[in-house]
Structure 1
Amino acid sequence: MNALAYLILALAKILNIIINIYTFVVAFAVLLSWVNPDQYNPIVRILRQLTEPVFWQVRRFLPKALFRFGIDFSPMIVLFVLIIIQTVGVQLLYDLASSIITKR
């Protein structure tokens, strides 16, 4: 039974690390979008490949009226969703693992 708890705990930690890394990737992509870097730079290409599919999915659900202002709200929404997943989802996994461990 403890093996399951430690597996869930490891999954929660890995998910937490992945969310932290992706949060920094999104933040760095936003900062790079302000300075309009070279599109053929390998770092810029990797950042765009990691973030644009997610941003595109969010942009599909945004009202068209928001695009008139020239501000892309999709990174803010992605960051907001990441924070919610991190605070709720990861914490639920931690709580589940600790409840399995303390049931002994």
Structure 2
Amino acid sequence: MDIILIPLLTILDKIIELYVLLIFVSVIMSWLMAFNVINRSNQFVLMVSEFLYRVTEPALRPLRKIIPNLGGIDLSPVALIFILYFLQMVIGMVIMRLIVAVPAQLIH
């Protein structure tokens, strides 16, 4: 069981890392678009922006309902990143416990 569970949890941890990176890119890209640093009429920029919106918005939408808007500052990405980091720590602890439990089972 541990032979399958440890790699699956490791893959889940890496997926969370990738998702956090996508959130960062989405936030930075929204700032760049808001300050007209990158052009919204560019097809590639529009395509990347839409992809990031579709990937991150389902997780951010429920948090936006809970976290109040602070005068145009959206704190939901920060809250989501904290939640994902917490989830990564939990996954890491589970992996550590599984790794420690495996040698103890081999002795008996």
TM-score, reference length from structure 1: 0.83
- Runs in 1 of length 4+ with deviation above 3 angstroms? none
Q: CA RMSD in A?
A: 1.7
Question: Unaligned 5+ residue runs, structure 1?
Answer: none
2:20 to 23, 43, 46: 23
The answer to whether the 8 A contact 1:29-1:47 is kept is yes
Bigger radius of gyration:
2
TM-score (ref. length: structure 2): 0.80
**Residues 49-96 of structure 1, C-alpha deviations (whole Å, 9 max, x = no match):** 001111111011123xxx2421000000000001100012x1133124
Q: 1:59 aligns with which of 36, 60, 64?
A: 64
1:5-35 Cα shifts (integer Å, max 9, x gaps) = 1111111111111011001000000001101
Identity value in percent: 25
Counting matched residue pairs gives: 97
1:43 pairs with one of 31, 40, 48: 48
